């Protein structure tokens, strides 16, 4: 097959490209330039897409003996991933930019361009497995490397794009194995630090990034009784479940910790309250993406609402028209915020994904659903 290997300049994508070459595919490497100011896009192990990263990707391609190109996707990245990030925070929601990057950049802009150029598939360094079921349908599964599993952020890709994707690292159980594979092949990125946090917020100061882009919007922090207990410089900088950085100056009357329980950007108000107000047992989501036939009735599963969060037992079903989904949790979850991605699994297989629209507590104690993880 003709394979386009997405090469970020890190060890994972370099080894993925090497394995695609070893498998006998006709491989071409491409580095995605996602910022027009790439020399400022990495601070140590923070961020990505710097000039350094492009150079590392080129050197890996040279070692592998494959053609290498740089594609400027910075305009698309700014107009989709960054714009969505700012829009969601402005609306008081909590987005996951890695989900949007996989949706709009890696498995839309990149994959669709690759298809138009005659490539059969795109190979990436994601930690996830693709298996073919007994019905011949390709399935997305968790990686055996629990610490690095990326099936959560890949769930948004959908069936059609899954059919044109390769994840050569799917069988690796640890990052150490991948680094050893890179060293064995003479790839200089074998010891390169992982990038982390939000790639376009290279210094890790998300609140500062939002303030620079959205401006200061001073407002009040109130408790659940409506009493003013503090001030903020922009409600957009807070998320449901947040405890640190509230700057309240004094504890609650009962001495208990206070958490953000609501963000109302309409009135520019942040509401804080006790931890028990964060527990939910029902979730509704919109913009659903299914990797199976949308279940019309309640179906046992497990669900995850954070990239490396704990999966909990639940039941899921598609809503009318399968545009969204509904979830009944088998146990309470804390701090589920609108805008987060919720992913449903059966065992290790991804069933579907949606963006959280609402999370609430339907009963004081979650009823048993009979669901299995």
What pairing do the DSSP bridges indicate for beta strands 121-123 and 2-6? parallel
Query: Do 136 and 54 fall within a single domain?
Result: yes
Position 48 scores a pLDDT of 59
Active site residue 101: yes
Confidence of residue 372 (pLDDT cuts 50, 70, 90): very low
Give the Cα separation of 82 and 195 in Å (integer): 18
- Claim to verify: residue 124 and residue 243 sit in the same structural domain: no
Report the share of the chain in percent with pLDDT over 70. Answer: 92
Residues 138 and 10 in one domain: yes
CB count in 10 Å sphere of residue 206: 15
Q: If DSSP codes are grouped into helix, strand and coil, which group holds residue 180?
A: helix
Q: What is the CATH number of the domain that holds 333?
A: 2.40.30.10
Express each pLDDT in 244-256 by its tens digit: 888 887 778 888 8
Q: For the chain, what is the mean pLDDT?
A: 89
> pLDDT for 154-171, tens place per residue?
999 999 999 999 999 999
Residue 254, sorted as left (phi over 0), alpha (psi -120 to 50) or beta, turns out to be alpha
Domain CATH number, residue 110: 3.40.50.620
- pLDDT of 322 reads 72
251 torsion bin: left (phi>0), alpha (psi -120 to 50), beta (else): beta
Q: Which domain covers residue 34, as residue numbers?
A: 2-191
pTM: 0.89
One domain for residues 109 and 130: yes
Q: What pLDDT sits at residue 219? A: 94
φ, ψ of residue 156 to 5 degrees: the values are: -75, -5
Task: List pLDDT tens digits, range 103-148.
Answer: 999 888 899 999 999 999 999 999 999 999 999 999 999 999 999 9
Q: Which of 48, 49, 98, 199 is catalytic?
A: 199
Q: Which of 48, 49, 98, 101 is catalytic?
A: 101
- Percentage, residues of the chain above pLDDT 90: 74
pLDDT exceeds cutoff 50 at 368: no
pLDDT at 57: 94
Active site residue 199: yes
């Amino acid at each position: 097959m003709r394979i386009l290997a997405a090469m970020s300049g890190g060890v994972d994508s370099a080894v993925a490209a090497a394995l695609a070459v070893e498998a006998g595919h006709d491989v071409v490497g491409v580095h995605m330039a996602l910022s027009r100011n790439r020399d400022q896009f990495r601070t140590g192990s923070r961020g990505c897409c710097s000039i350094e990263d492009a150079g590392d990707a080129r050197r890996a391609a040279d070692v592998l003996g494959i053609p290498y190109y740089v594609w400027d996707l910075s305009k698309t990245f700014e107009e989709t991933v960054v714009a969505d990030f700012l829009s969601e925070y402005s609306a008081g929601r909590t987005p996951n930019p890695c989900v949007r990057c996989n949706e709009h950049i890696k498995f839309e802009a990149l994959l669709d361009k690759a298809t138009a150029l005659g490539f059969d598939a795109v190979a990436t360094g994601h930690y996830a497995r693709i298996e073919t079921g007994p019905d011949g349908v390709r399935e997305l599964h968790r990686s055996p490397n629990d610490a690095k599993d990326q099936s959560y952020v890949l769930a948004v890709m959908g069936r059609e794009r899954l059919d044109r994707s390769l994840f050569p690292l799917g069988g690796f159980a640890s990052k150490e194995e991948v680094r050893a594979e890179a060293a064995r092949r003479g790839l200089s990125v074998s010891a390169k630090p992982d990038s982390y946090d939000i790639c376009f917020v290279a210094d890790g100061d998300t609140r500062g990034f939002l303030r620079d882009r959205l401006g200061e919007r001073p407002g009040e922090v109130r408790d659940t009784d409506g009493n003013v207990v503090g001030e903020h410089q922009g409600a957009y900088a807070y998320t449901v479940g947040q405890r640190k950085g509230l700057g309240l100056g004094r504890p609650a009357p009962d001495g208990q910790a206070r958490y953000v329980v609501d963000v109302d950007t309409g009135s520019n108000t942040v509401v804080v309250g006790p931890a028990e107000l964060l527990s939910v047992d029902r979730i509704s989501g919109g913009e659903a993406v299914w990797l199976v036939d949308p279940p019309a009735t309640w179906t046992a599963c497990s669900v995850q609402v954070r990239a490396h969060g704990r999966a909990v037992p639940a039941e899921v079903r598609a809503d009318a028209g399968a545009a969204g989904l509904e979830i009944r949790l088998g146990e309470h979850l804390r701090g589920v915020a609108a805008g987060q991605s919720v992913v449903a699994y059966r065992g290790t297989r991804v069933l579907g994904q949606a963006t959280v629209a609402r999370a609430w507590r339907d009963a004081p104690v979650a009823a048993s659903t009979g669901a299995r993880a």
